[in-house]
Amino acid sequence: MGTIIALANQKGGVGKTTTAINLGAALARNGRRVLIFDFDPQANSTAGLGMRTQGLTTYDVVVGGTHANDVVVETTIENLSLIPATPSLAGAEVELVPMMAREFRLRRALEPLRDRYDYILIDCPPSLGLLTVNALAAADEVIVPVQCEYLALEGLGQLTSTLELVRRNLNPHLSLRGLLLTMFDGRTNLSQQVADEVRAHFAQTFKTVIPRSVRLSEAPSHGQSIFQYDPSSRASAAYDALAQEVIAGDNKRETGPGQKEVAR
Ligand code: ADP
Ligand code: MG
């Protein structure tokens, strides 16, 4: 059974899409079968992977009830598949409102795909609307990218109360996998201060920090992950380290905390 991870933060420009693409690519390089579900009408992860679509999209899956299997496309990266988006997805936010069990559309759609992938990464839009709620209802875990900038913590309170509401009403086993510090600039005190502050508030912050990297911002315009565009960059090392952390956390959970005690 695969793990479904939502990349969520209602702030735009914090690194959700960059993380979907590059964590996805890193997990795939490590032999994991990965599916990226582009759930943002801006369709940046579709474009960033060099994909264009005139065919079926996440909109058809969630609104139209098309079988998700029929919408999967293969990317240029081995082991990495995509369910693409187009701007038509913007309509879904409104069209879902009158639907029966509207918060569970995505969860039901992904259920049959779970055993085909080790990880399904959902790239969420920058809002806490019905699309993001669908993603949180479908997910096992959430990763929250946080930009190492002024006001980084702003909005995180609202996000954590949304997670709590989703747990209480829709998906009791949703867990916060971690906050991910992105666009860290080691030359500035501000980045370090923000990182310290985030870690002080949230124990579940990944050890791996994603550096600010021009290469990372250039890669999507070439339709490539950082591993294709600049495999020897610090950014590619960082996303690989993040993948190792994600995989190690899974292994730990499978053995369970009890067994870890015994091992010690
Ligand atoms: P979101 O999906 O949360 O809106 P993106 O991943 O699209 O955020 O990132 C916003 C912008 O910042 C994009 O132009 C992206 O290329 C750039 N970016 C993301 N991460 C980094 C980074 N670590 N260093 C430099 N630029 C980055
Ligand atoms: Mg995005």
Q: Where are the beta strands (DSSP E) in 136-261?
A: 141-147, 175-182
Task: Assess whether pLDDT exceeds 70 at residue 262.
Answer: no
State the Cα torsion 56-59-64-67 to the nearest 10°. Answer: 60
What's the chain's average pLDDT? 94
* Atom of ligand 1 at shortest range from CA of 20: 6
The two tokens of residue 169 are 């009403």
- Residue 215: how many other CB atoms lie within 10 Å: 15
Helices vs strands, H then E, count in the chain? 11, 7
| Radius of gyration for the alpha carbons in the chain, expressed in angstroms and rounded | 18
Residue of 209, 210, 218, 34 lying closest to 113 (CA atoms): 34
Phi/psi-derived region of residue 232, left when phi > 0, alpha when psi is between -120 and 50, beta in every other case: alpha
- Out of 18, 124, 187, give the residue to mutate to test ligand 1, the one with the largest number of ligand atoms within 8 Å of its CB: 18
- Out of 121, 122, 191, 217, give the residue to mutate to test ligand 1, the one with the largest number of ligand atoms within 8 Å of its CB: 217
In tens, the pLDDT along 233-244 reads 999 999 999 999
Residues with CB under 6 A from ligand 1: 12-18, 44, 126, 182-183, 210, 212-213, 216-217, 220
Distance 13 CA to ligand 2 centre (A): 7
Q: What is the pLDDT of residue 52?
A: 87
Look up the pTM and report it.
0.95
In tens, the pLDDT along 116-148 reads 999 999 999 999 999 999 999 999 999 999 999
Q: What is the pLDDT of residue 256?
A: 57
Give how far Cα 31 sits from Cα of 34, 139, 220, 239, Å. 9, 22, 22, 15
* Atom of ligand 1 at shortest range from CA of 214: 25
Distance 3 CA to ligand 1 centre (A): 24
* Atom of ligand 1 at shortest range from CA of 211: 23
Distance 40 CA to ligand 2 centre (A): 7
In tens, the pLDDT along 70-116 reads 999 999 999 999 999 999 999 999 999 999 999 999 999 999 999 99
Residue of 190, 185, 48, 195 lying closest to 121 (CA atoms): 48
- Domain annotation for the chain: domains and CATH numbers: 3-245 (3.40.50.300)
Q: What is the pLDDT of residue 226?
A: 98
Task: Assess whether pLDDT exceeds 90 at residue 258.
Answer: no
Burial code (b: 16+ CB inside 10 Å, e: under 16) for 172-207 equals: eebebbbbbbbbbeeeeeebeebbeebeeebeebbe
- Residue 161: how many other CB atoms lie within 10 Å: 11
Average pLDDT of 51-58?
91
Give how far Cα 33 sits from Cα of 90, 114, 133, 149, 252, Å. 28, 11, 25, 33, 19
Give the Cα-Cα-Cα angle 96, 6, 165 (nearest 5 degrees): 65
* Atom of ligand 1 at shortest range from CA of 126: 4
